[in-house]
Structure 1
């Protein structure tokens, strides 16, 4: 028997010579220990032969699921989060889920944070670049944290940003730079704290090394002003290490406004390797973080969590991409 011309689970049961309940167990992936491997294989082969596809809407109703996941990001203006969404949506679509994107307010407070969706029909949450205290706003909904503090109570998929910053430090120190200007993101998040700590530790361990810090919003104009303050110093840094590619773009603008050449007078590095990095002239030395892979791995972990698993936290490596914005320091 078919429904609207489509094979049903009853048809699969008839084809495989088993009960309909056995078909349900096998196709739901819950057969281990209850059905023999040979029977499970027979069910899958029967389903393939007759072209059976499960009715995801009906299955969702039985499981009490909406097949909707909320992706919470700090902003929609940064291209990094577009790539993050792409990776998330690719895995979600392959499993019959849809993604709803929610930019959290700035500043975010846990008491108010959950109110926009605390009662929404969602199965799980992927929260990117958020503080641990924000977990209280999720109301018990299953959550996987992305690019967030791996010491948290929720499963986390993050980047090894400390290693990425150490690679930047090794690169510029290897070129001979000893006075490093650090334009840090003025955002109190784990990912930026980790970058700063790694940079300062690497420079401090180098004889003659020192860091002059500045802070700026992740915004080209704000970064330009912060970089200009560093570059106007009589003992200006010979390299500006920036927490983000947009901040690095601001550093370029500051250098050129002061008549300085990149990298002849001052080297500049970024972090993330968004499209902007290759659009700058000279192209930007930066650390490539695979945002799409982060989204895909995070969605995979959330699917595991929704199925009753305990996905381990994991960290993805970044790659140093050396381009034309770094050179040995000028001779003064």
Structure 2
């Protein structure tokens, strides 16, 4: 039995048993026969007893599909990327007579209150961005099926995942800049500790190390003001000024372009700037932004498809969606 006030969740059971949350839902919902082994089912039941886990009965009724509603948890409604994710999820949901409730974490990447309180019978399952993962801590668990977006696929006992090929995207833009002759780089990195941004940082470092290029990393909050200040620190700091500025997002790149303009640095004549996302903002900037296009609607669609598979007791499989470099006028040859 656990001690303290925290109620054990199905995620805890999955971790102790060494299985996925979907498997826990199948076993504790008595729908496991023919889908998982007797040994696995026994391990799940033993873990549940050891932890003192008791599934919420209202939530358990949801897994039968009676409400046909999914909850999509995102860090913010104001970001175009997550609006597109919602559009993709809603499209697939509608084709299967499901609805999608969109729920932003009020503090962005922080903990959110439970949007349903005791009325957890309002949803069948959840799709959540890894940037809003902390929000799940206060959203009633009840053994609800869960699909994570942009999340570590190798996390022990983790949920089904739908990911973007972010490492490949960073490699594409880094090789593009190396091909233009750049050897002094700065990485304007998002100051958010999630899998997707860790992967980007690791890929940038590995690519530039193998090319023998110089790299400075500067972290920034995800807004243009913070990005402008971070870019100013990079561009006015000691040592040789970078000729290429890799940004973890188009919003960061917009702040970097403002910093360059304020310092009288020409983009791309003196400094190439690249983004990541391909938001509408990318073509509103002057010069237009070289960036990496992310198939946001497809992320939402695949997330909803994976959740439907979990609800039906089918393996959702691993999903990694390709991304595409979009070269535009903000990147050019390295200055002599």
Map 1:103-122 to 2 at 5 A: 103-106=104-107, 113=112, 115-117=114-116, 119=118, 120=120, 121-122=122-123
* Aligned pair partner of 2:161 in 144, 148, 156: 156
Pick closer, same or farther for the CA change 1:61–1:132 going to 2, 3 Å: closer
Pick closer, same or farther for the CA change 1:62–1:101 going to 2, 3 Å: closer
* Aligned pair partner of 1:292 in 257, 274, 297: 297
Q: Provide Cα deviations, 1:192-246, integer angstroms capped at 9, x if missing partner.
A: 1101110011001113x11111111110111001001111135111010000000
* Aligned pair partner of 1:217 in 215, 221, 230: 221
Post-superposition shift, 1:328? Answer: 1.1
Map 1:241-320 to 2 at 5 A: 241-320=246-325
C-alpha contact (below 8 Å) 2:75/2:108 kept by paired residues? no
* Aligned pair partner of 1:226 in 207, 223, 230: 230
Q: Which runs of 5+ in 2 are unaligned?
A: 1-60
Task: Give the structure-2-normalised TM-score.
Answer: 0.76
Equivalent-residue separation in structure 2 for 1:82 and 1:194 (angstroms): 23
Q: Which runs of 5+ in 1 are unaligned?
A: 1-59
Equivalent-residue separation in structure 2 for 1:223 and 1:303 (angstroms): 39
Task: Give the structure-1-normalised TM-score.
Answer: 0.76
Equivalent-residue separation in structure 1 for 2:305 and 2:221 (angstroms): 32
Equivalent-residue separation in structure 2 for 1:64 and 1:284 (angstroms): 44
C-alpha contact (below 8 Å) 1:131/1:148 kept by paired residues? no
C-alpha contact (below 8 Å) 2:112/2:134 kept by paired residues? no
Aligned length: 269
Post-superposition shift, 1:309? Answer: 1.0
CA RMSD of aligned residues (A): 2.1
Q: Which has the higher Rg, Structure 1 or Structure 2? A: 1
Equivalent-residue separation in structure 2 for 1:206 and 1:327 (angstroms): 18
